[in-house]
Structure 1
Amino acid sequence: MTSRVTLVSPTIGPSLRQARFDDDGSIDAEQAARARAAAGSLPRAVHVVVSPSVRCRETAVALGLRGEDAPGLAALDVGRWRGLTLDEVAAAEPEAVARWLTDPDAAPHGGESVKDVCTRVGNWLDAAAETDGRTLAMVEPEVVRAAVVHALGMPTGAFWRLDVPPLTATELSGRTGRWNLRLGHPLDTPDAPTDR
């Protein structure tokens, strides 16, 4: 059985614009309008799931998606760094930030390590491989990174080397142990180029 999983990244939120560790804030009217403009551009799916973040839920609504909550696809837990800017954390804890960005097992913020999020998302992806038909998942960029790392059997350290732009879809097809990847392509919006 071949499964298809489409991972959709949400619009930009205020935290991302400010290089701030996500504080689970809402998207603004402009970004909601961008998502509404892309409504209908996603493939039909048998199963739709949404990460529990406000940004993912609001983007899903703007795209016209109705899906079930997927706690296993939650954003990377950054513990006490949540809501702070990267500059603030780097000034206060430079060694901790350096360790976090280079050691996938490190969680100096008291939250989740990159290895942990890759394992959690990998477990979800393995289960999704048993779903007949397409699964569409609205998830934070770090969840897309973790899924790609797992699907391609990449070293966990590659996590930070993958960029996931907002309002893009990354497609995985295949089955556990052998996935094919179609890298993030922009959703069809009036101001986004498309390769379709």
Structure 2
Amino acid sequence: MTSRLLLISPAIGPALREARFYDGSSSIDKAAATRAAAATLPEAARVLLSPGARCRATAEALGLCGTVATDLAPLNAGRWRGRALTEVGATEGEALAHWLTDPDHAAPDGESVRDACARVGHWLESAPDGRTIAVVEPEVVRATVVHALTLPPETFWRLDVPPLTATELSGRSGRWNLRLGRPLGGE
């Protein structure tokens, strides 16, 4: 059988608009637009969610009831959680630059890009047959694509994941096909 994964990035909200590091408590805007996209979703055997309010709120607005999957947590930014990227850049510019360019460099008290890609890759390789819808943070989409296509982790930050888009993967362990970032509600 084939695994079919539909990764949905959360709707935009204040934290994403302000380029703040994930802190698990951000809300979303435009719940009505999210609800309108719900009609375009296929039936799924299971629904999974990244931990955090933004993914839960997006899933709820899409009419999805899912299970939180800790392996699908976003990249752990450690002590930078909840802070704006500009603020961290102004106070810890060298550490931030190192973290953004070296996939082996972890955020202070956080996680490296390589470790996040490995964590999400492990989840991907154990994906069950059938369709799974997962409402996940953009970093999880990036890590999934990096793993599925065996890209170098240095490409992680070069993958843009717009809000409320679908990234689709199909295949089985070790061989994945990818359909990137279509808007929900679009063809």
Q: TM-score w.r.t. structure 1 length? A: 0.92
| CA–CA separation in structure 2 for the residues paired with 1:110 and 1:132 | 36
Structure 1: unaligned runs, 5 residues or longer: 189-193
Do the aligned residues in 1 keep the contact of 2:48 with 2:66 (CA within 8 Å)? yes
Structure 2: unaligned runs, 5 residues or longer: none
| 1:1-196 map, 5 Å | 1-28=1-28, 30-128=29-127, 131-188=128-185, 194=186, 196=187
Do the aligned residues in 1 keep the contact of 2:72 with 2:120 (CA within 8 Å)? yes
Do the aligned residues in 2 keep the contact of 1:21 with 1:82 (CA within 8 Å)? yes
| CA–CA separation in structure 2 for the residues paired with 1:87 and 1:166 | 20
One-letter amino acid of the counterpart of residue 143, structure 1: V
Relative to structure 2, which stretch is displaced further, 85-94 or 147-156?
Answer: 85-94
Instruction: Describe the SS at the equivalent of 1:104.
Output: coil
| CA–CA separation in structure 1 for the residues paired with 2:100 and 2:112 | 10
How many residues in Structure 1 have an aligned counterpart in Structure 2? 187
- Cα displacement string for residues 64-107 of structure 1 (whole angstroms, at most 9, x for unaligned residues): 00111111101111011011111111111111011001100111
Q: TM-score w.r.t. structure 2 length? A: 0.96
Identity of aligned residues (%): 65
One-letter amino acid of the counterpart of residue 69, structure 1: V
| CA–CA separation in structure 1 for the residues paired with 2:114 and 2:157 | 12
One-letter amino acid of the counterpart of residue 109, structure 2: G
Do the aligned residues in 2 keep the contact of 1:24 with 1:54 (CA within 8 Å)? yes
1:121 deviation in Å? 0.4
